[in-house]
Amino acid sequence: MNVVILAAGQGKRMHSDTPKVLHQLAGKALLAHVIGTARALAPRVICVVYGHGGEAVRDGLADSGELVWVKQEPQLGTGHAVMQALPYLEAAARTLVLYGDVPLTRAETLSRLIAAAGQGLGVLTVTLDDPSGYGRIVRERGKLSRIVEQKDATAAELALREVNTGIMVAPTEKLKKWLSALSNDNAQQEYYLTDIVALAVAQRMPVEAAQPQAAWETLGVNSRAQLAELERVYQRNFADALLEQGVALADPSRLDVRGTLECGRDVAIDVNCVFEGQVSLGDRVVIGAHCVLKNARVAAGTRIEPFCHIDEADIGADCRIGPYARIRPGTSLAKDVHLGNFVEVKNSQIGEHSKANHLAYIGDTTVGRDVNIGAGTITCNYDGASKHRTIIEDGAFIGSDTQLVAPVRVGKGATLGAGTTLTRDAPAGQLTLSRAKQVSIENWSRPVKKNK
């Protein structure tokens, strides 16, 4: 199987400097979705025909694996686009034509189309309530005979509701001959790929049609509104799959997954949560409303309260996070860690049963077991040029409003009094204080604002 993906369109209606096929759906470029579907078919070659956007399209998909890139310049229609790919296709294989702005076609649907076509020409069609803008499928005695573009259609043909999706599969040798016979004698003076249907019929080549299970599989993106519509389709489909697995969603219409989301048993997700990259939620995990998790693993029994951001972090079992906590890359939390409201943790490891319940910054720090970090505590990890590490050993108690100026170590079981600025290591098991002497001044008057 050869796959040709047509991705040369400009996308004027997007009103954007970004090439249309690089606009994102569910956190991934439209073209990346199509490439992923094509790969599921295990083709011998995937050829991407690009044009508008030039090297930006190639650069935007640089991590998509081995692809053949062919530039269409100028753009003279879909038939002309496929012509550019012909030198790179294996002649003995069939060729499937896909579109870089049609992201939701399922691999199962394409497999059915390929099976239905056999060694003939296969066309994916769909029946729409409003077929405006699409090429109409014309049948004779029930058999597909030709496709007519809307601009070239008669009134009777415009009334037809079965339309062409543009997705086709054909024997490559036949495809080459049909493409060489195309004419641009039409309203747009372009070489239409759809015209190969009439050529196949004329040669008595079997032409078979297949339809998807849902019309949204064939919908393309030409505007911001259409992109937003497909985003909701994608997200609702994902939500339905989660519900089928037993995940409790407070509102399936208010969920956004921009990557992968794996859930254990009895997981509950409240409204307006966003999951990016690779996210894993263990059994009985609860995610509160308005949370954002990116490339994160959350172990069983943990509860994430509302309005938390977790990015590139590993959260242990039975933890309590938030509300309004921010956990940044490089952080790992052991079992039963509590991080409360307005606590930020970055590139740190926190041991079992340790707590920072409110208003703290923990950066580049190793925290042991059973540590209590009071409100207003910060680790001063940056000297303006380099980051330095803080170590807080097991059982330490950090009083409120404490600053730990790294590099510094707090020994096992040590206590830091509230308001301490620690610049040297605190010995294990001792109380360390750093405070200015308290002074009260008699007969002092607060300044009074003078009237002008």
Q: Is the peptide bond before 74 cis (omega within 30 degrees of 0)?
A: yes
Altogether, the residues listed in the chain come to a count of: 452
Give the Cα separation of 143 and 137 in Å (integer): 10
Question: Backbone phi, then psi, for 189, in 5-degree steps?
Answer: 50, 45
Q: Quick one: CA torsion of 200, 204, 208, 209, rounded to 10 degrees?
A: 50
Q: Where are the alpha helices (DSSP H) in 170-285?
A: 172-180, 196-202, 224-245
Instruction: Give the span between the Cα atoms of 34 and 48, in whole angstroms.
Output: 10
SS3 content of the chain, % helix, strand, coil (to 5): 20, 35, 45
- Residue 25 DSSP class: E
CA-to-CA dists, residue 309 to 136, 247, 275, angstroms: 49, 21, 10
Q: Quick one: which of 119, 106, 87 has its CA closest to 216?
A: 106
How big is the CA angle at 143 (ends 138 and 149), to the nearest 5 degrees? 20
d(CA 183, CA 175): 15
Please give the positions annotated as active site. Answer: 358
Are the C-beta atoms of 256 and 275 separated by less than 8 Å? yes
Cβ contact 381:389 at 8 Å: yes
- C-alpha pair distances (Å), 426 with each of 196, 216, 369, 378: 81, 64, 17, 16
